[in-house]
Amino acid sequence: MDNPKTKFMDLTRILTLANMISLLRAFMAIPIIIYLQNENWTIAFVLIILAILSDTLDGYFARRAHEVTHFGKWLDPIADFVVILAVTTYLVMEGIFPAWFYWFYLGRYVAIALPAIYYLNSTNFVLQSNWYGKWSAGITTFSIILHIFPIAQLSWLPQFTLYIATGLLTFSYLKYVRTFYQASKQS
C-alpha cells in the first residue's frame, strides 16, 4: 500500500495547476480585505466571485488532469477556511457580521483539523472534505456576500443563510466525527 505521507510531500504532486489555484484562493483574502477596507465594493465583489470560481476550478482541473493529490485534498478546504475566516474576521471587527458564527466556524475547523493532523501523522489516513462541508462553505460565502451587500427587501436572508450554513456545518462535523471513529477502529 502506498504511503500517503510520502505522496503528500512529493513536490511533483504538490506543484499542480489545481493546487496553485487553491493556494491563490487562500491569498485572495488579502486583497479582498484591502478593498473592503477602502470601500471599493465592486472590486471586492469581483474578487469574492473569483475566489468562489477558483473553488470550482481547482477540483475540475485536478480531476481532468488526473492530478488529484493528497496535498490538494488538504489544501482545498484550508484555502476555503483561510478566505472565509479572514474576511469574516474583518467583518466581525467592523460589526457587519455576527461574532457567534465566526466563533462557531473557527471552533468547528479546529475540532476537525486537530484529529485530521493526528491521523495523518500516525496512520495512512488522509481526510477528505465531504459534500456537506462544501455546501456549507458555499452557503457561508453567499451569506458573507449578503452581509456585505445587503438587499433591503430581503433583510432576513443573511441571517437565514447563516442558520442553514450552521446546520450543514454541524452535520458535516458529525460526518467527520464518524470518519475519525472509523479510522480509529482501523488503525
The reported pLDDT for the residue numbered 102 is 97
pLDDT per residue, tens digit, the chain (187 aa), is 455 555 555 666 778 999 999 999 999 999 999 999 999 999 999 999 999 999 889 989 999 999 888 888 888 889 999 999 999 999 999 999 999 999 999 999 999 989 888 887 777 677 777 888 889 989 999 999 999 999 999 999 999 999 999 999 999 999 999 988 888 887 6
Decide if 108 contacts 177 (C-beta within 8 A). Answer: no
The reported pLDDT for the residue numbered 1 is 47
CA dist., res. 12 & res. 123, Å (int): 23
72-92: per-residue pLDDT in tens?
888 888 999 999 999 999 999
The reported pLDDT for the residue numbered 6 is 53
Q: Average pLDDT of the chain?
A: 89
Q: Which sequence spans correspond to the domains of the chain? A: 4-186
The reported pLDDT for the residue numbered 117 is 84
**Fold exhibited by the domain 4-186:** Four Helix Bundle (Hemerythrin (Met), subunit A) (1.20.120)
